[in-house]
Every structure is written in C-alpha cells, then in structure tokens.
A and B are shown apart, each in its own frame.
Chain A
Amino acid sequence: MTSPNHPAVEKLRTGISSLDIIAKGGLPKNRTTLISGTAGSGKTVFAVHFLAAGIELGEPGVFVTFEEAASDVRENMKSFGWDLAKWEEEGKLTFVDASPDPLVDTVEAGEFDLGALIARIQNAVKKVNATRVSVDSLGAVFSQFEDQAMVRGELFRIASALKGMGVTAVLTAERTDDHGPVARFGVEEFIADNVMILRNALEDETRRRTIEILKFRGCDHQKGEYPFTIIPDGGVIVIPLSAMQLSMKSSSVRISSGNKELDDMCGGGFFRDSVTLVSGATGTGKTLTVAQFLQGGAANGEKCLLLAFEESRDQLVRNATGWGFDFEKMERDGLLRVVCDYPDLSGLEDWLVTIQGIITEFGPQRVALDSLSALENVGTLKAFREFVIGLTSFIKHREITGMFTATTGTLMGGDSITESNISTLTDSIILLRYVEMFGDVKRGLTVLKMRGSAHDKAIREFTISKDGMHVGRPFGNVTGILSGAPMHVSPGDVERVWSTYDKLVDRRRPPEAASGA
C-alpha cells in the first residue's frame, strides 16, 4: 500500500483531536466522507465542528445546508462557542443556504438538474478559498424535489464536483434505525468514498452515543464503535479507548498513602502512577482512606483533586475535620480542590470529559474519586467500564496517583459490581471489612493486591479516632473475614493449623532448603 508506486491516501488532520486518533491521522484528504446517523445523533454538530476545527487550523470552510436555514444554524451553534457570523465576516466561512423557502411555491415542469447548486458551491469555495465543505444533509435534498431519480443522479454529480474542487467534504445523511441500513435512501453510502456512522442508542434507559468508521476507501482506521459525547463549548468529543491503553508509562517512585502503617502494608507506599481501589461496605472508612490520601499529598505540597459523588462539600469538610484534616485550609493553600456533584447530572461520557477538563486545568498530582459505585447506575455496564478505563489511563498518562472507592452491597464480606468489573483495571486493591467478634463490630483492612510490589498479606484491625486511621495487629485468630462469616478460632487451633501447614510445605521442599528455612 505504501510503496512509492501506490502512495497511501493522504489524510487531513481534522483538528477534532480524538477523532484523528480513531481515524489514524484524520479524514482522507480531497475525498468525501458520509456521516450517517439517526435523528439527534449529532450529525449537524459534527458537520459544523469539522468546519470550526478547520477554521482554527487556518482552513476556511463552506457549509451547505439543505435542512435548517443558515440563520438557525448560526443561532444553534452559538452554544458550542462557535461564532459562525464572525467567521463569515472574517471570510473564513460561508454558507450555501439551500434550505427550503416556505414562502416560495415551486412547480416542477419538465426535466431539470442541480447545476445551479453546484455552481453556488463552486462559487462559495472560491470566495473563501475553502479546503473543507460540509453538506447537511443529503436526505433533505430528496424531500425538496419530486423527481427522486434525478436527485440520486445529481448527488453523484455533486460528490464528484466536490472532489474536483480539491476540498475534503463531510456529507451527512439520515438513517431510520441505529442498526439498520446505512442511510434512508439507500444511495448515500455509494455517493461518498468513506462512511462513518453516529449512533445514539437507548440502552437500559440511558442514551449512549457511539461513532464508528465503517469504511475508509484505501486507508487504515480503527475499527468498532467508540463512545463519544457532545458538550457545550466542546462539540464532538470521541473517547478513543484503544489509544489510551497504549500510552501507559510505569513509575517506581513511591508516594505516601497519608498513613505510615498503611504505607508499610503496601511495601513502602503507592506507586506514583498507580490507581488504587478502596472497597468496603458503607461506613467502613473509605472516605477516611481518601481524606488521608489527600492529606498526605497536601502535606508534601502536592495538589489534590477530590471528586465527590456521595456527600456534599459541607459534609466532607465536617467529616474531615472530625478526623483531624483541615480541608478548608488545604483549599486556601491551593492544594486541594473538591468537586461535588450529583452523578446523574450527565452521562458517563460527559463526566469523563468534564473530569479530564478539570484535571488538565487544575493539574493535580493526586486524584480521588468517592465513589465509583455512585456512577455505576448512571450508564450501562459497558459505558461504566469505558469510563473507568478512560479515567484510569488518563490519570496514569499524566503520572497522577489515583484512588477510587467502591461500595459493597452487603455489610459483611461480599463484593460489588463496581469491584468485580474494574478490579483488573486498578493496580492496587485495599479491602475494608466489618469483622463481628463477640458482639462487637471491628474494622479490618487488607491489601489484596499491589501490582509490582510485595505487600503485607495479613488482615489487620484498624480503628478510627479524631486523628485519623490507626492500623493495628492482624486478626490472628479469626477466619472467614473476607467471606463475611468471621469465626473465632482458639489460639491453640491456629497454632496447630499453621504447624500442619509448615510440615506440608517442608515435606515438599528438598531437604537442604528445608533445613535452611
């Protein structure tokens, strides 16, 4: 493909950065790309964003609108921060308004073609010296004329005329079903060289937007559906999961969890670019572990970000004060930012983009999210996993230390949906458990997993006081804590079990090694 005789198709960097990743460099240059999607899937926004991103790169554009009047498009796009009227004044953008005019009656009397439209597009391209053209939407052309066969033929002519003008074009088309034919009139996909599909599927009562590159004639692209979102002041933002996973680094620098005893259990602290999951039932001390983690960061002069989805700011500050941490002072010193919000306010894709924005702007060294479980029900399980993958790789890439919490459904033992779905994505897992003993409820803590490091395997008792968390001795003579059915075992029994175990191990070892142990 890339031999000198057959050069690969050149790509045009769109400037929609996340799209360029899944399109492996951008849209094929000087070609036409069909963007097909159901009503409300974001076609028009995409078409305008393509031009807006071009204008930011110094590439003027032409917007051909068959559906909405130019004045409506100008008005609607203001919310995305795109001032089309200003660009028109500056000669960076021009409209070809081909929307139906309700005031003019048109009668068809004999054969015709769309020669005037092509002449207008050519004129507009020449006028602003455009390199990009968006046409929105092809389906609306059919509704303007009775002679459908003529429209079919003319659309082909428009597509080839666009190529002749040396522009890279985006053509939108409607489809009736998220998983049906590519487009309504059955010809749209043949008009363009490339096809991309926008979906806005309803799954478990939540909307999930995805973008898929169906075909790029003669060049490479990433395959499958990628979640994307449309946000004010941002437009179309694709979340390219595969690209994220590739770029992870690994650090061997240790940082403090904010608690000396916990650091010791973790073999000297967390790794700088690691993500730790703290899992436990309600009230076991997850938020405390988080507060401690943030305090530890601030004590080192590191900036910390807390994303709180379960408690209000006031509650958090009050609780932290109860443990001896002064959140308000940390905020005044510019070392802490607390973001509290209702998880249901927006979709998970939006949350990811919002959180990424906050992290980029604030530049923290530590990020804590309390709790992931609160976000679990905002979208589908798939969307949730993608959110965690996206956030994890984003913060790792920036060498930020992360701590997420997950709430288990049952008080004793058990695991959570959150935990079972994302445990493989995190580097360390700390379990917090209630341990019932002789009518008392005690708290237990264990480091279940610590990627790339030795760690304490004991389940230790910890207490919470007005100066935070204190990790104490292991529950030496209790068994069944993790399964949620703790049982007290007499010290004699423990001794006997261990000595049997030791004998078994000794028997398997070669004699010389056994004597050394």
Chain B
Amino acid sequence: MTLYVTGTSPRTRVAIDNLNRICKQELEGRYELEIVDVLEHPQRAEDERILATPTLIKQLPPPLRRVIGDLSDKDKVLLGLEVRPGSSSSSNGA
C-alpha cells in the first residue's frame, strides 16, 4: 500500500495514525506501507493521477483500490480496500 500525503500537516498526521491503527488491528503482518510526500515527489502524484491528499492506494492484491481522506472512518477504509476484517479482531458490522 502507498499513502500519499502533503507535507507534515495535521491531517497528514491524523491519516498516518489512523492507518497505522487499522493495519495493526486488521492486517497485522500482512502489509507493506510506503508513505509519499507529494510536495517532495510531485511526479509520483502525477504518474498515479492523484488529486486528493491523503490518498491511500492498495496495489496488491488486485484489484487496485483507492481510499481518500484522513482514514478516520475505519469501516469505509476496510470496504475501500476490500479487506475482510482479520480473524483476530472483534466483529465488524458492514
């Protein structure tokens, strides 16, 4: 997964915190995460045609999925990533 953010804005921090928490709860050990600052690497945003920040892109496993926003809505993040809640986690009504 790649998370595109702009600089070190509060929203960037919220998104990173949210993502880390979700990954820890639901995807323990089953993911690789890269964080890209579009201010430093605008060309990468161009190549991926990203408009909004933060944007989370899941490349693998297919299909390609995008989630935009600060990832504060955990249900929507999981829905967007098409990841079944992990067995270790509590029940998660869709």
Q: Does A114 contact B (CB under 8 A)?
A: yes
Interface residues on A, range: 20 to 34
- Taken together as a complex, chains A and B put the C-alpha atoms of A96 and B42 apart, in Å, by 11
**Among the listed B9, B18, B46, B50, which residue makes an inter-chain contact with A110, where contact means beta carbons less than 8 Å apart?**
B18
Q: Does B76 contact A (CB under 8 A)?
A: yes
Q: A116 to B73, Cβ gap below 8 A?
A: no
Q: B76 to A109, Cβ gap below 8 A?
A: yes
- Taken together as a complex, chains A and B put the C-alpha atoms of A113 and B39 apart, in Å, by 14
B26, chain A: closest CB distance, angstroms:
14
Q: B66 to A120, Cβ gap below 8 A?
A: no
Interface size on B, residues (CB 8 A): 37
Q: B70 to A112, Cβ gap below 8 A?
A: yes
B75, chain A: closest CB distance, angstroms:
8
Contacts of B68 in A (CB 8 A): 106-109, 112
Q: B52 to A117, Cβ gap below 8 A?
A: yes
- Taken together as a complex, chains A and B put the C-alpha atoms of A138 and B65 apart, in Å, by 25
Q: A97 to B49, Cβ gap below 8 A?
A: yes
Provide the B42-76 mask, 1 if CB < 8 A to any CB of A, else 0: 11011001111111000000011111111111101
The B-contacting residues of A in range 99-156, CB under 8 angstroms, are 101, 103-117, 119-120, 122-124, 144-145
A275, chain B: closest CB distance, angstroms:
56
By CB atoms of chain B within 10 A, which of A97, A98, A106 has the most? Answer: A106
Q: A112 to B53, Cβ gap below 8 A?
A: yes
Q: B49 to A112, Cβ gap below 8 A?
A: no
**Among the listed B7, B49, B80, which residue makes an inter-chain contact with A107, where contact means beta carbons less than 8 Å apart?**
B80
Contacts of B72 in A (CB 8 A): 109-111
Q: A105 to B52, Cβ gap below 8 A?
A: no
Of chain A, the residue at the smallest CB distance from B68 is: A112
Of chain B, the residue at the smallest CB distance from A101 is: B49
Of chain B, the residue at the smallest CB distance from A96 is: B46
Contacts of A116 in B (CB 8 A): 4, 6, 38, 45, 50-53, 55
Of chain A, the residue at the smallest CB distance from B48 is: A116
B2, chain A: closest CB distance, angstroms:
12
Q: B52 to A114, Cβ gap below 8 A?
A: yes
Provide the B3-14 mask, 1 if CB < 8 A to any CB of A, else 0: 010110101001
Known: A111-B11, A144-B51. A106 touches B67 (CB 8 A): yes
- Taken together as a complex, chains A and B put the C-alpha atoms of A123 and B6 apart, in Å, by 14
The A-contacting residues of B in range 9-35, CB under 8 angstroms, are 9, 11, 14-15, 18
Q: A124 to B46, Cβ gap below 8 A?
A: yes
- Taken together as a complex, chains A and B put the C-alpha atoms of A98 and B68 apart, in Å, by 15
- Taken together as a complex, chains A and B put the C-alpha atoms of A91 and B30 apart, in Å, by 43
Q: B65 to A105, Cβ gap below 8 A?
A: yes
Of chain A, the residue at the smallest CB distance from B51 is: A117
A105, chain B: closest CB distance, angstroms:
6
Known: A115-B38, A123-B42. A109 touches B73 (CB 8 A): yes
A366, chain B: closest CB distance, angstroms:
57
Q: B79 to A107, Cβ gap below 8 A?
A: yes
Contacts of B38 in A (CB 8 A): 115-116, 119-120
Contacts of B6 in A (CB 8 A): 113, 115-116, 119
- Taken together as a complex, chains A and B put the C-alpha atoms of A109 and B76 apart, in Å, by 6
The B-contacting residues of A in range 212-248, CB under 8 angstroms, are none
Known: A113-B52, A119-B42. A105 touches B71 (CB 8 A): no
The B-contacting residues of A in range 69-100, CB under 8 angstroms, are 96-98
- Taken together as a complex, chains A and B put the C-alpha atoms of A112 and B3 apart, in Å, by 13
Q: A109 to B52, Cβ gap below 8 A?
A: no
B43, chain A: closest CB distance, angstroms:
6
**Among the listed B45, B64, B67, which residue makes an inter-chain contact with A109, where contact means beta carbons less than 8 Å apart?**
B67
- Taken together as a complex, chains A and B put the C-alpha atoms of A97 and B45 apart, in Å, by 11
Known: A104-B64, A119-B6. A112 touches B79 (CB 8 A): no
- Taken together as a complex, chains A and B put the C-alpha atoms of A309 and B18 apart, in Å, by 73
Provide the A16-48 mask, 1 if CB < 8 A to any CB of B, else 0: 000000000000000000000000000000000
B36, chain A: closest CB distance, angstroms:
10
Provide the A167-204 mask, 1 if CB < 8 A to any CB of B, else 0: 00000000000000000000000000000000000000
Contacts of A144 in B (CB 8 A): 51
Q: A109 to B71, Cβ gap below 8 A?
A: yes
Contacts of B55 in A (CB 8 A): 112, 116
B72, chain A: closest CB distance, angstroms:
4
Contacts of B9 in A (CB 8 A): 115
Would you list the 6 A-B pairs with minimal beta carbon distance, nearest first? A107-B80, A110-B69, A123-B42, A115-B6, A109-B76, A110-B70
Additional pairs, 11, CB under 8 Å, beyond known A115-B53, A116-B4:
A97-B49, A103-B64, A105-B63, A108-B68, A109-B76, A111-B11, A111-B69, A113-B52, A116-B38, A116-B55, A119-B6
Interface residues of A (CB under 8 A from B): 96-98, 101, 103-117, 119-120, 122-124, 144-145
Interface residues of B (CB under 8 A from A): 4, 6-7, 9, 11, 14-15, 18, 38-39, 42-43, 45-46, 49-55, 63-74, 76-77, 79-80
A–B complex contacts, Cβ < 8 Å, 13 sampled: A98-B49, A107-B67, A107-B79, A109-B67, A109-B69, A109-B76, A110-B14, A110-B15, A110-B69, A115-B39, A115-B52, A117-B52, A120-B51
